[in-house]
Structure formats: structure tokens, C-alpha cells
Structure 1
Amino acid sequence: MLLQKFISAMRSKNKIRLTFYSKKDQKELTRVCAPMDYGQSRVYKDGKDRYFLWDYDSDAGAHTLSILSEQVIDIQLLEECFEPSEFVTWTPDWIVSRDW
């Protein structure tokens, strides 16, 4: 169900409100994000699927999040849309198909 919401939001370019367990902060966090992709990371070679997101609420450092499925607590679809060109500055090789 959460993955379906995520992929639907990604394809429709809707922002989401993501609640997840942050390993770094060792607590639950909620962030407004743009869903970017889902699947196995090319960086982490552990074979685990991850949610890849652009974090609009990040106050410092990188705005990208890579979250394991077991860390995701809730995903709420927001009415506000995002424009991928706001943050996609590279030639993407997406895992999940979409028209952007």
C-alpha cells in the first residue's frame, strides 16, 4: 500500500509527507518530499530496495534521502505538485518507469 502511494505520487508529480524512522537521528521524522525512485541502490550494494526522495525540509547538507522499506512508517499524498527540473540536474537512469 505505501509503495503504491509512493509510485502513484512519483508518476503524478505530487509531493508527499513521509514519516520514517531516521537511523541517523534515532527517532521518527516527518518530511515533505518529492518521490524520485524506488528499487535497489547503485551506491549501497546490499541488494535491498529503497525509497529515493528529494527532501524539501532538509535544513543542511544533501537534500536526497535513501530510505529502506522497513524505515517507512507512513506516506501521505499532498495536493502540491513538484517540478523534477527543480532538483534533477543529471541524466537519470530511473528504476521505475515514468514520463519525466
Structure 2
Amino acid sequence: MKEEFVGAIHSKNKIRLTFHSKEDGHALTRLCAPMDYGPSTRAHDKSDRFHSWDYDSDAARHTLSLLPEQVISIEVLPETFDPSGFVTWNPNWVVGRDWGQYS
């Protein structure tokens, strides 16, 4: 799944991400833009995670960071995304990419 996710970062394809939600206690599926794969700067546990922009989020924060064991499936979609739609900070990505000024 990591290879599909990283490939979608490079091609800027949206993904359909199905994962086990610790908060909800069951599987959820979300439309996302893959942002990065690596440790979280916010979590105490520095394990690698799938970081995505969650277009379906009903919360103020749309970033979804999941441990690999939470991810059930990743489907790369033909629809692309524009990083300018959500990258509003100066990123320090783990996975290198060619996103112009958003790299």
C-alpha cells in the first residue's frame, strides 16, 4: 500500500482511503489527497504514518494521519488534486516530490 500511496503523491492523484477509525470504532472510507509518508511531528510515537488531506472531514482540521496497521485499503483514483488547495504552510516533506512551490 505504501508504494501506491507514494505513487499517488508523485502523480497528484486523489485516493479512496479505507481505514479502521480508533475514534469511531469501525472502518471508514474517505476521499483524500495523499500528502506524505513518514513520522508525525505531532505524535509522541514517531512511527511512520500515512498523512492525507481528508476532503470528507467534518472537523476543522482536515489532516488524517494513520499508522499502517489502521489502513485497510488505498484505491488510487483517476481524479487529480491541486496542492494549492490545502498546503498553506512551508512544508518539510519526508517523501520528495515535484509540486513546484509546494514541494
The sequence identity of aligned pairs, in percent, is 61
Q: Does 1:16 align with 2:35?
A: no
Q: 1:50-96 CA deviation, whole Å, 9 max, x = no partner?
A: 01000001123211101011000000010000000000011100001
CA offsets, 1:1-49, max 9 Å, x none? x000000001100000000000011110000000000011111131211
Return the TM-score normalized by structure 2: 0.93
Over 2 Å off, 4+ runs: none
One-letter amino acid matched to 2:40:
S
**More displaced stretch, 53-62 vs 6-15:** 53-62
Q: Structure 1-normalised TM-score?
A: 0.96
Residue of structure 2 equivalent to 1:77: 76
Instruction: Name stretches of at least 5 consecutive residues in structure 2 with no aligned partner.
Output: none
Residue 37 of structure 1: aligned partner: 36
CA RMSD of aligned residues (A): 0.7
Gaps of 5+ in 1: none
Task: Look up the match of 2:91.
Answer: 92
- How many positions carry a matched residue from both structures? 99
Kindly indicate whether residue 56 of structure 2 is the aligned counterpart of residue 57 of structure 1.
yes
Counterpart in the other structure of 1:46: 45
Q: What is the CA–CA distance in structure 2 between the aligned matches of 1:59 and 1:39, rounded to whole Å? A: 25
